[in-house]
């Protein structure tokens, strides 16, 4: 996924495999890369362009976009998402933060 | 006999309004959050049961004196088309209401459970993509974010705890341990199940202020319960400091959200204050009283519904 994010353009599974092979000590099999890609596609993280062979893949959203989505969920921006996870300290109002500051000192 | 529907209706009203309000404003739940949580759950269950039960028993009155005879009588009346002749509009409306309410509550529970599960899967997939793992702690993910957050994500395939880089740099080792133990308590004690149930209750009755209050109160009790678990591993003031630091830093970095939280008692302060004082669990007698009340709340509406039928069967 990092390879796709860094490249910014559509890559085929073989391009990705070559990229990964140059970074890692152990080269991955092309089928492994394809398996991972199709899994990512199913989860909606990459898009496959089918008009030419070999199929090319692009990232649906940037790393920062996904991070923003994740944090939005964590911070309870979506009111009906609060049951998804339990935060250590939930939403705090400015007045409450002020009181907490006093308690700290 | 009008006694059963009347008593059930009285119970339903009590459990829908004065009782939850009393429990939400009582002080003792902070001393024994686990017991208070038990009581909340039985209030919610008994409330739903008596509300549906009151409508059902009243609606079935023209068809038989108890639940069993009423149901069989009603089925026969529907079969031979005489239901509308034998029962007045009020009784039929009550039956319709009971069915509607029952279906509404169950459907909402199913929707909330499914939606929560779907959201968690999506969140987990994002985490797998963006989080990094510490090999020594396979159940933990680190998020590369300056905002100080910690939370846990329950899952049937393996729950995980998530920390942000901001949180790790904000807290010292001992405070981090407090947070870790707190989150682990959420996961091992399956607090997510209670939260989802109350979430569903609130989703079913969004116009009902008590449901919102109950959900929030239950949320706070769960935090206190996890705090108590963490207290067996770290000192009270370490945990209190961690809560205050995270809460305060969260607001400073623009995390504060002025939503409906304004009108309600601030949870973080309640938790820190609680840790600052002496936490005395309820005395044994009071504990027995709370557990018996919780049990009685479930037994009474069930008995009112079923006992008349059982008595006639036995006679």
- For residues A67 and A89, state if they share a domain: yes
**A1, A71, A94: residue with CB nearest B251:** A94
Length reported for chain A: 105
ipTM: 0.84
Look up the domain containing A44 and give its range: 2-59
Query: What total number of domains does chain A contain?
Result: 2
- Nearest residue of chain A to residue B196 (CA atoms): A83
Contact between chains at B248 and A100 (C-beta distance less than 8 A): yes
Same domain, yes or no, for A46 and A6?
Answer: yes
pLDDT of residue B136: 82
Same domain, A52 and A68: no
Cα angle B150, B202, B204 (rounded to 5 degrees) comes to: 135
Q: Are residues A80 and A54 in the same domain?
A: no
| Phi and psi angles of residue B113, each rounded to the nearest 5 degrees, phi first | -60, -45
pLDDT of residue B263: 46
Please give the share of chain B, as a percent, with pLDDT higher than 90: 64
Q: N- to C-terminal Cα distance for chain A?
A: 45
A99 with A81, same domain: the answer is yes
Chain B contact set for A89 (CB, 8 A) = 243, 246-247, 250, 268
| Same domain (yes/no): A26, A68 | no
Calpha distance B160→B11 (Å, rounded): 41
Identify the segments of chain A with pLDDT beneath 70: 8, 24-25, 76-85
User: What pLDDT sits at residue B22?
Assistant: 95
What is the per-residue pLDDT for B169?
A: 94
Q: Is B264 exposed, middle or buried (0-12, 13-18, 19+ CB in 10 A)?
A: middle
Query: Are A70 and A55 in a shared domain?
Result: no
- Following DSSP, what letter does each residue of B241-300 receive, concatenated? HHHHHHHHHHHHTT----SGGGGS--HHHHHHHHHHS---PPPHHHHHHHHHHHHHHHHH
Angle of helix B67-79 versus helix B284-314 axis, rounded to 10: 50
Do A50 and A71 reside in the same domain of the chain? no
B74 exposure class (CB count in 10 Å sphere: 0-12, 13-18, 19+): buried
CB B251 within 8 A of CB A96: yes
Tokens of A67: 């991070």
What radius of gyration, in Å, describes the C-alpha atoms of chain B? 24
Residues for chain B: how many in total? 315
User: What is the rounded CA–CA span in Å between residue B196 and residue B102?
Assistant: 18
Parallel/antiparallel/unpaired status of strands B150-153 and A86-87: antiparallel
pLDDT tens digits along B137-147: 888 999 998 88
Query: What's chain A's Rg over C-alpha atoms?
Result: 21
Model pLDDT, residue B262: 44
Question: pLDDT at position B176, please?
Answer: 94
**Whether B104 contacts B203, CB under 8 Å:** no
Residues A71 and A95 in one domain: yes
CA dist B269 and B129 (Å) reads: 35
With beta carbons less than 8 A apart as the criterion, state whether B167 and B182 touch.
Answer: no
Select from A41, A59, A77 the last residue of a domain.
A59
Q: Are residues A12 and A50 in the same domain?
A: yes
Tell me what pLDDT residue B285 has: 96
Percentage of chain A exceeding pLDDT 70? 87
Q: A68 CB near a chain B CB, below 8 Å?
A: no
Q: Tell me the angle at which helices B18-25 and B33-60 cross, rounded to the nearest 10 degrees.
A: 180
Q: What is the pLDDT of residue A60?
A: 86
How many whole angstroms separate alpha carbon B158 and alpha carbon B77?
52
Regions of chain B with pLDDT less than 70: 1, 250-265
Q: Which of B128, B269, B277 to mutate to test the interface with A (most CBs of A within 10 A)?
A: B269
Residue B256 has what pLDDT? 47
Number of C-beta neighbours around residue B82 at 10 A: 11
CA distance A87 to chain B (A): 4
Average pLDDT, chain B: 90
Asked if B45 and B292 touch (Cβ cutoff 8 Å), the reply is no
Q: Are A39 and A22 found together in one domain?
A: yes
Residue A42's domain is classified under what CATH number?
1.10.10.10
Query: B198, B193, B216, B196: which is closest to B44 by C-alpha?
Result: B198
Q: Which backbone phi and psi does B191 adopt, to 5 degrees? A: -65, -25
**3-class DSSP state of B88:** coil
Q: Which residues pair with A4 in a beta bridge?
A: none
CB contact under 8 A, B276 and A103: yes
Q: What are phi and psi of B133, to 5 degrees?
A: -110, 140
Closest in A45, A88, A101 to B246, CB measured: A88
């Amino acid at each position: 996924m990092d390879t796709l994010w860094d490249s910014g353009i559509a890559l085929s599974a073989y391009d990705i495999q070559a990229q990964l092979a140059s970074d890692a000590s152990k080269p991955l099999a092309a089928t492994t890369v394809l398996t991972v890609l199709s899994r990512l596609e199913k989860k909606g993280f990459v898009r496959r362009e089918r008009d030419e062979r070999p199929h090319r893949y692009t990232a649906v959203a940037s790393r920062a976009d996904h991070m923003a989505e994740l944090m939005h969920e964590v911070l309870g921006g979506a009111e009906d998402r609060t049951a998804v996870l339990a935060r250590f300290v939930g939403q705090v109002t400015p007045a409450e933060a002020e009181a907490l500051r006093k308690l700290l000192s | 006999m009008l006694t059963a529907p009347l008593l059930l209706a009285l119970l339903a009203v009590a459990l829908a309004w004065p009782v939850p309000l009393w429990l939400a404003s009582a002080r003792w739940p902070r001393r024994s959050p686990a017991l208070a949580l038990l009581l909340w759950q039985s209030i919610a269950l008994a409330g739903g049961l008596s509300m549906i039960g009151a409508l059902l028993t009243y609606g079935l009155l023209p068809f038989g004196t108890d639940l069993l005879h009423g149901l069989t009588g009603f089925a026969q009346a529907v079969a031979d088309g005489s239901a509308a002749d034998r029962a007045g509009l009020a009784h039929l409306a009550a039956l319709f209401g009971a069915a509607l309410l029952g279906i509404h509550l169950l459907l909402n529970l199913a929707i909330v459970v499914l939606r929560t599960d779907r959201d968690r899967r999506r969140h987990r997939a994002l985490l797998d993509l963006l989080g990094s793992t510490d090999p020594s702690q396979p159940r933990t993910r680190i998020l590369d974010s300056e905002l100080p957050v910690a939370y846990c994500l329950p899952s049937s395939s393996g729950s995980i705890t998530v920390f942000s880089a901001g949180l790790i740099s904000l807290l010292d080792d001992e405070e981090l341990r407090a947070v870790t133990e707190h989150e682990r308590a959420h996961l091992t004690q399956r607090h997510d199940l209670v939260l989802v149930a109350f979430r569903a209750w609130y989703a079913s009755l969004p116009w009902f202020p008590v449901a919102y209050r109950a959900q929030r109160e239950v949320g706070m009790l769960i935090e206190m319960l996890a705090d108590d678990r963490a207290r067996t591993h770290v000192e009270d003031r370490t945990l209190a400091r961690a809560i205050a630091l995270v809460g305060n830093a969260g607001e400073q970095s623009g995390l504060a959200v002025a939503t409906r939280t304004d009108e309600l008692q601030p949870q973080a302060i309640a938790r820190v204050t609680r840790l600052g004082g002496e936490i005395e669990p309820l005395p044994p007698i009071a504990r027995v009283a709370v557990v018996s009340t919780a049990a009685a709340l479930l037994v009474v509406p069930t008995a009112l519904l079923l006992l008349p039928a059982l008595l006639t069967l036995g006679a």
